[in-house]
Structure 1
Amino acid sequence: MPGARRIVIENCAIATVDAEDTEHRRGHLVVADHLIESVGAGDAPGGLENVVRRVDASGHLATPGLVNTHHHFYQWITRGLATDHRLFDWLVALYPTWARIDEEMVGAAARGSLAMMARGGVTTAADHHYVYPRGAGDLSGAIVGAARELGVRLTLARGSMDRGTSLGGLPPDFAVETLDGALAATEETIAAHHDPSPGSMTRIAVAPCSPFSVSTELMRQGAELARGAGVRLHTHGSETAEEERFCEELFGMGPTDYFASTGWLGPDVWLAHCVHLGDRDIAAYARTGTGVAHCPSSNARLGAGIARVPDLLRAGVPVGLGVDGTASNESGELHTELRNALLINRLGAHREAALTARQALRLGTHGGARVLGRADHIGSLEPGKLADLVLWRLDTLAHSTIADPVAALVLGAPAPVSLSLVHGRAVVEDGRLTTADEATIARVARGEARRLARIAAGDPP
């Protein structure tokens, strides 16, 4: 790449997460502008021109940046509430508060969520935002702006709800949109923010919230809108046994059959949670190429159950990891999900054979990129791919006696991030954000959380 500005990283262990799971005990990476130019064993090639930075990464592991396939950024300002509830009760408890969010709150929450993820190695995140109270301002714009400010790649899954309590849904009526209003606003969001280019920093997906908060017509027309616009489709699916009963009572069929009947299975679709799937459901996902966002910590927090991840992978279903909203996963970090995915799945039927450390890392990188439809450009360390990568420090007290660096990352304590690049740009250095002030983000988010709590309680804001 003539004229490119190069960053050379040497002396680190490398887990490429390519198709062969290539690893190097001591290797190098060369980044040219926003692309990976070379990756391999030993020292970097000699004679490189325009090297603007050299990094001696001794004691580190280089991996692809983590890809978070399911989150609700706005929940950053409602953490620590309803801590002993199952899903439906938890939603009923929190919907009245969430229905009072506004643009300033959502912007502050998005910055908090993105900052926490970026510090923990996330370079791409999907935010499923589905609460759009009337008069709340430009919520989608606030989310997109926060991601742009922090330098994290974003898929904004523009959600919606139009089934309030009067129609048998869970959210209060004042928290939902109309069918036509939701579709029009979603179309406007795509037009304003979706960038389909390979190096895109912002993509939009169509994302009605769930079968218990969305009408069948919104599901059907949402799928038609997405495919007409060439964007992906996202929603919650099969998260709890209660959801399965809800679908049987309301639609006369289980969630998977309902999704099939509304156009919500396919290679352009990914569904969050997917805990309660039978063999027939998994076969339908595999046959159609439907992806899954696995959220182990949130599933445990809400007592939803253990998703059949080993069976999904064995069937060929695309699976990535998700933080889920921080009102059901207060840590807000994806690298902890690597460990929890491995441990929780070993409590299931497959026990110690459920997942390996390397499978867990693949879920959080290439698996997530595949789920978001971006595996051609991110999710592995290969020449020609976008320079989204992380250097994890593994020579401190927490990890120095674990000889296998991948096992150290997945099974050990959370590893410090010495460097995180997104599109070749440093967003984290020595465990701190480079693109925004963390203290300011924390202070503003705390203030917005308190303001929301006062409004929800009926006090003056």
Structure 2
Amino acid sequence: MMNHSYLIKNAHAILTGLSANAARSSATDIRIQDGKIKEIGQLRQQPHEQVVSAKDCVIYPAWVNTHHHLFQSLLKGEPQGLNQSLTAWLASTPYRFRGAFDEETFRVAVRIGLIELLRSGCATVADHHYLYWPKMPFDGAAILFDEAEKLGMRFVLCRGGATLTRGLESELPQALRPEKFDDYMADIERLVHLYHQPDAYAFRKIVMAPTSTLHSTTAQQFRESAKIARQLGIRMHSHLSETVDYLDAAKAKFNMTPVQYCAENDWVGDDVWFAHLVKLLPEEIQILGQTHTGIAHCPQSNARLGSGIADLVTLEKAGMTISIGVDGAASNEAADMLSETHAAWLLQRARKGMLAVPQYEGGQFEGGADAATIEDIVRWGTVGGAKILGLDQVGTIEVGQQADLVLYRLDDPRYFGLHDMAIAPVASGGRAHIQAMFIAGKMVMENDQIPDLDMMELAGQAKDAVKLLQQRSVGMAKIA
């Protein structure tokens, strides 16, 4: 696999994932050898080299998705949670259905989510998997890694879980009961031993990821989990400041802001990233920026749940590392990286425009149309995510980097008439036809097809699984 050589020829444009003038390459050809990018330029074919035509294609680094909940791939558009904000939605959909999953339905959900991501050009997925409870009947981690391996994708397991619950444990169904802290940490150590690859071009990583910073564990356990994570050499991730409720809860429980609470318990730093960060105070942004903590920005889920829009421009200027996450499909019915990056581009501009004060001097209005460029979005969605995950050999199109890249063929009317074809996959939205996609130099898609995938069979499995989940969820307990 790694010794196969390819020459990608005649690309219309190449976006590199880099900054400023380096964001676009003037080259047309890319040589791949031994899983890496060997040369970039105007190149001639070498013996025993397979040529891949990139005519009418633009080439991007493959996307890096830093926050997902793959089990939710079977909960799209679930009626009870469709028009709810975060807290009510959690009770109505993900928590109501969590006990309905068994090994078979969970595997189908994971497969659907990974395939949806791959078909958008995503090579690396960090899944915040929190379906854990005492006496679990199946090993979700084994299924996640297995399904990712079958597709040739890089997979990061953010091992979620909770040692606290808002209800009385004796009255909760088994699937809603918390784990013991020692059991949680023991499983983290087991997973690190089985799967974790510490190098910068790894295909498998483990992350310490309690489900919620404020509600899933005690302050002492929260601090201890950070100590254990760093002893094991793994990174840390959780949800934070998705809504104003986080500010209220942190003040009521700890008499501090959510970010101050995380900082007090050693949960900030360049080995930590949080999903959402929609509602931040200026002093919190300063802490996050000074410690170079990262963010997984989830614009579609935040919009769907009515949570708001994270201010990526301000966060990056403060010193944070920016990445993009899809979040779960139960709050994002198009759980792919092209939809997500398209939304990120538009919503950063909308946010700046909403906050702008009309300037009537000279008849000018200062809007938000310059808030984020396409090149910014590509950088955040590729190398930004790779940096957060510790994958320094991934995320850019440069000589010596791992060959994770995607060729988008722009032969659909959606892209006709564009003056700058390079921006098409992000600016025009939709799902572009993938001419070819490579992960570590292996071709994982060709002519928009995933090898050995029967899409009709998968569709049938999804319909059967949804019916089964609906039947099992009837009468299941809800939590507020």
Same-fold status (TM-score > 0.5): yes
1:409 to 414, 417, 425: 425
Amino acid at match of 2:106: V
TM alignment of 1:312-391, pairs within 5 A: 312-349=315-352, 351-374=368-391, 376-391=392-407
| Cα offset, 1:435, TM superposition | 5.4
Amino acid at match of 2:85: R
Aligned equivalents of 1:218, 1:100: Cα separation in 2: 29
Amino acid at match of 1:342: W
TM-score of the two chains, using structure 2 as the length reference: 0.89
Output the aligned Cα RMSD. Answer: 2.0
Q: Deviations over 1:287-319 (max 9, x none)?
A: 111000000000000001111111012223100
Could you tell me which residue of structure 2 aligns to residue 112 of structure 1?
A: 112
| Cα offset, 1:36, TM superposition | 0.8
Q: Deviations over 1:158-217 (max 9, x none)?
A: 11112212379xx97751222222222222111111112333211110100112233323
The runs of 5 or more residues in structure 2 that have no matched partner are 354-367
Tell me which moved more, 296-305 or 436-445.
436-445
Contact 1:323 1:334 in 2 (8 A): yes
Contact 1:111 1:146 in 2 (8 A): yes
Could you tell me which residue of structure 1 aligns to residue 144 of structure 2?
A: 143
Amino acid at match of 2:137: A
Q: 1:437 to 1:86 in 2, by over 3 A?
A: same
Contact 1:212 1:243 in 2 (8 A): no
Q: 1:413 to 1:83 in 2, by over 3 A?
A: same
Q: Deviations over 1:251-298 (max 9, x none)?
A: 211110111111110110010001011221111111111000000000
SS of 1:346's equivalent in the other structure is helix
Percentage of matched positions with identical amino acids: 33
SS of 1:306's equivalent in the other structure is coil
Could you tell me which residue of structure 2 aligns to residue 302 of structure 1?
A: 305
Could you tell me which residue of structure 1 aligns to residue 357 of structure 2?
A: none
TM-score of the two chains, using structure 1 as the length reference: 0.93
The runs of 5 or more residues in structure 1 that have no matched partner are none
SS of 2:394's equivalent in the other structure is coil
What is the aligned length?
A: 450
Could you tell me which residue of structure 2 aligns to residue 50 of structure 1?
A: 48
Moved over 4 A (4+): 171-174
Contact 2:374 2:426 in 1 (8 A): yes
| Cα offset, 1:436, TM superposition | 3.4
TM alignment of 1:258-297, pairs within 5 A: 258-297=261-300
Aligned equivalents of 2:452, 2:123: Cα separation in 1: 13
Aligned equivalents of 1:395, 1:102: Cα separation in 2: 41
2:200 to 198, 201, 204: 198
SS of 2:307's equivalent in the other structure is coil
Aligned equivalents of 1:458, 1:166: Cα separation in 2: 17
Contact 2:64 2:324 in 1 (8 A): yes
Q: 1:237 to 1:369 in 2, by over 3 A?
A: same
Aligned equivalents of 1:5, 1:183: Cα separation in 2: 41
Q: 1:103 to 1:215 in 2, by over 3 A?
A: farther
| Cα offset, 1:33, TM superposition | 2.6
Could you tell me which residue of structure 1 aligns to residue 185 of structure 2?
A: 183
Could you tell me which residue of structure 1 aligns to residue 68 of structure 2?
A: 71
Aligned equivalents of 2:277, 2:204: Cα separation in 1: 26
SS of 2:160's equivalent in the other structure is strand
Contact 2:14 2:422 in 1 (8 A): no
Aligned equivalents of 1:296, 1:163: Cα separation in 2: 29
